[in-house]
Structure 1
Amino acid sequence: MADLRDPAEQSVAPPIIVAMGISGSGKTTLARGLAAHLQWPFVEGDDLHPSANIDRMRRGLPLRDEDRVPWLNAVAGQIAEWRRAASPGVLSCSALKRGYRNVLRQAAPKNLRFVHLDISPDEARRRVRGRAGHYMPEALVESQIAALEKPAEEQDVLILDATLPTHETIVRIVSRYIGSASSP
């Protein structure tokens, strides 16, 4: 694992990066690629959903705020675990609303960074329609679009076009949050 700390600033916590966006935006692909490039731990946020949430989505029912509470707490718990261990990390998580992002920010207030993968509704639907083996049906993309509170004015969020090649997105993230634009 790369040591990201400046020798003069050994007390600086390493960043924890959350790839966020609606279903189909490519957050899992990006987060996996970024984690592999940086040799950092990766956690898929969808894996932290309680089974009741997965069953609900599988049936085509959108999650409600109250359904997301245990999931957000589990995601925040993972972030807090990395923070306590002074470990960097990369996580994929829709983080659709500012309130959800604020729950995550509380887990690592100084070193949590978001990458919002901005995507058109048509492209998100096309991608979700074309993927196999995922419980999220295309019909739920609309509910995610409706729930999304775009993070345009949030300072710890890098907004990127979700249709950029993954390697280009990784270079931009590394340049912004790590300080070196090494190629993936």
Structure 2
Amino acid sequence: MSTAPSQPRFEPARIIIVMGVSSSGKSTIGAALGRALHAPFLDGDQYHPEANVEKMRAGIPLTDADRWPWLDALSAALKQAAARKGVAVGACSALKKTYRDFITEKAGEPVLFVYLDGSREVIGERMARRSHEYMPTSLLDSQFATLEVPDAAQEHVMAVPVTDSVDKIVRTVTGTLEHLKTFKRWQ
């Protein structure tokens, strides 16, 4: 009999959201996960209203009031994509529990959040090396200040270290999604 811990089992979810602070790798991991699952990938950045983009571009952190319309639009698009294809993957910071609860409520079904867990130092180094259309490095501290680290005991979340390779993270996530192994990839 093995004494190794078993893989966590997650409630079947057709919507998977890769979450974390800016520069944690949400878009990269989300796109790779979408390819692995032959599922549509929706990048949350594409659903921000122009006013949000301009605030971030100016180095002004978003407020809850700024985020609700964005979360609503992304949630609706993910729900529609999952209804059409049977599964959908999204990238969204989902920094607060209330945001994650809102997305799940709007979906009307379980949503698995894949939390890209990394230190301020590691993510700060990543952010300094990349160029983003509207997310300056000055906003990283506000991202960490807003982040409510998801609690796997209370939320439908899987934490993975940002220091793992893209392939390893995708294998880790897909390895826990037993219900998607029979997904009809040709749909």
TM category, shorter? 0.7 to 0.9
Counterpart in 1 of 2:170? 170
CA gap of 1:125–1:29, structure 2 versus 1, over 3 A, is: same
Q: Which ranges in structure 1 are unaligned for 5 or more consecutive residues?
A: 1-12
Counterpart in 2 of 1:160? 160
CA gap of 1:83–1:41, structure 2 versus 1, over 3 A, is: closer
Instruction: Please give the TM-score of this superposition, normalised by the length of structure 1.
Output: 0.86
Instruction: Please give the TM-score of this superposition, normalised by the length of structure 2.
Output: 0.84
Relative CO higher for 1 or 2, CA cutoff 8 Å, sep ≥ 6? 2
Distance 1:126 1:135 in 2: 18
Deviations 1:12-50 (A, max 9, x none): x86210000000111110000110111110010011000
Counterpart in 1 of 2:30? 31
Contact 2:21 2:144 in 1 (8 A): yes
Contact 1:17 1:112 in 2 (8 A): yes
Q: Which ranges in structure 2 are unaligned for 5 or more consecutive residues?
A: 1-11, 182-187
Deviation at 1:179, TM superposition (A): 5.7
Counterpart in 2 of 1:122? 121
CA gap of 1:157–1:14, structure 2 versus 1, over 3 A, is: closer
Over the residues paired in the alignment, what is the CA RMSD in angstroms?
2.0
Deviation at 1:78, TM superposition (A): 1.2
Give the 4+ runs in structure 1 shifted more than 2 A. Answer: 82-87, 107-111, 177-181
